[in-house]
Chain A
Amino acid sequence: MIGELARQEGIKLFSQKYPYLLAALVIAVEAAYMIATAMKPAETSLDVVTAPQLWAQGLGWGLRFEVYAILVIGGMGISREFSLGTVKTVLILPIRRYQWILAKLLGLVLLSWSLLIVVVGLGLVIAAISPGWGDVLRDGVRLYTAGQVWGNLALASGLTFVFMLPVCAFALLISSFFSSSGAAVGVTLLLGIVLETVTEMLDLGTWLFIHHLYRPFAMIEKLGKGLPFRWGETAAWGSTVALVTFVIFAGLLIFRMGRVDITD
């Protein structure tokens, strides 16, 4: 049943224009940033941007805008059902509320992952036009082998799929408190930006999932400077924080929607 409901969520989503526009915006930002970076002349050997660095930088920007896009789409996820009144049509059906919510969550997660695959793939294609696919060398010294670099990039990309889970649950949770799509999207975006900014400004540390969100790509961007990776913390601790946060947000969402009265 959840699979069928998730399929229907996809149909509803792709029958509208705004998901396409947001996806196009994400792709355009990533592509523009990568092309501009690749064309910028290097003044010193440290400024030379290798292909993996370029890819990582593009992914960092693509990911940032994808998070905003998912916050907008997720912010409309439940509030739009309230504003259209279709929540009444759905909840009369012989399904449990948690099934509907899980289907919404699954649909949004699959959409975010699909967009992520496009972002990763596009970055790879554009990076392919840049030099430096092999070992990372600086003034004749090998900083990293090609295997290390691409292995780390693959791991970083994989982790990002996990980090998208709490973003999706967060957007739907905020959406469930509003019957106006515009208000829901505004508040979801605002809270997302505030959470990100406060985390960075106050250095709240590794307990907040958002701290880990862009970290893998920020680390890869510094490849050329020979800085060490700290994958243990990012992969293990970051994933744990992201998954625990996801479970908390999803649990709150199911609890909230299980108890809310549809009175309007």
Chain B
Amino acid sequence: MLAVVYGVCSRDSLDGRTLLIRGFGQREHWRMEILRVDRLSKRFGSTWAVRSLSFSIHTGEVVGFLGQNGAGKSTTIKMLCNLVRPTEGDIFLNGKSIISSSDARHRQKLGAIVESPRFYPALSGHRNLEMLARIYGVGRDRVDALMDQVGLSEKASHRFGTYSMGMKQRLGLAAVLINAPDLIILDEPTNGLDPVGSRQIQDLIGELAREHHVSVLLCSHQLDEVANLCHRALVLHEGKLHLEMDLAEPKGIEAIKACFDDLAREGAAL
């Protein structure tokens, strides 16, 4: 069973934007806005991969990010992670732009796994994590604790290239947590894991949001996973926000499934 090692998150920098949302257990809490995506667009050549996308995420909220292949999910996530430059629009993390600002420290409280965890294969898992820790100014003791918590202590000195898929995912999660982020972006985090490993990761995500008020943007193709973990779901289609659904609503997940059925029929008709 995975447990969470987490630091104290400062909320001093927030601009006070708040929203009433439902947390786990359907209780209502006042939450502050962590991420705001404002009319975000990306054009590759003459093709718009993402077109005027706007949404926000609040503290402790787990948001499912859904869509067919090519819907614009990956491009959006890469824009959030500084990998792709937006053509238009802006992204605000804790109220500060991470696009127009030249201060990279505004991304200090962001953690992400894009596609799959990528580390240097010739270095040990511990050394890979330690290198990230030094950039964030985090001590070696936290690296040790995280390696222990994700169950990799015994393999800490082994080269990353020798890790199994599940171990790589665990190390990726440890890397995401190293800076005690306010927002975590996870791109199919249970991909390649066995049922037990998947369940452990899902429990960890739930615990992060519930106990530590970490916000999570969860990109997944598994609707059951989204239904179990997420408060809200965003469905992208052709680069635009097609549907936004509060999953606490009765039949919320049914509406998502119906949406994908409609999209599948549209695709078949074409």
Contact = CB atoms under 8 A, between A and B. Distances in A.
A92 B102 contact: no
A99 B106 CA distance: 16
Interface of B: 44, 75, 78, 81-85, 102, 104-108, 110-112, 114-123, 127, 131-132, 134-136, 175
Among all A-B residue pairs, the 9 with the closest Cβ atoms: A85-B118, A262-B83, A15-B122, A261-B84, A94-B107, A94-B108, A94-B104, A92-B81, A88-B114
A263 B78 contact: yes
Pick the most buried of B85, B127, B135, B175: most chain A CB atoms within 10 A of its CB: B135
B178 to A, nearest CB: 10
A89 B122 contact: no
Interface centre among B75, B81, B119, B120 (most CB of A within 10 A): B120
Interface residues of A, number: 25
Contacts of B107: 92-94
A40 interface: no
Interface string A6-27: 0010011001100000000000
Nearest to A88: B114
A173 B179 CA distance: 32
30 contacts: A5-B135, A8-B131, A12-B123, A15-B120, A84-B121, A85-B116, A86-B119, A88-B81, A88-B83, A88-B114, A88-B115, A88-B118, A89-B118, A89-B175, A91-B81, A92-B81, A92-B114, A93-B132, A93-B136, A94-B107, A94-B108, A94-B110, A94-B135, A96-B102, A259-B85, A261-B78, A262-B78, A262-B83, A263-B75, A263-B83
A12 B134 CA distance: 15
Given A11-B131, A263-B78, A263-B84, A92 B110 contact: yes
A8 B175 CA distance: 16
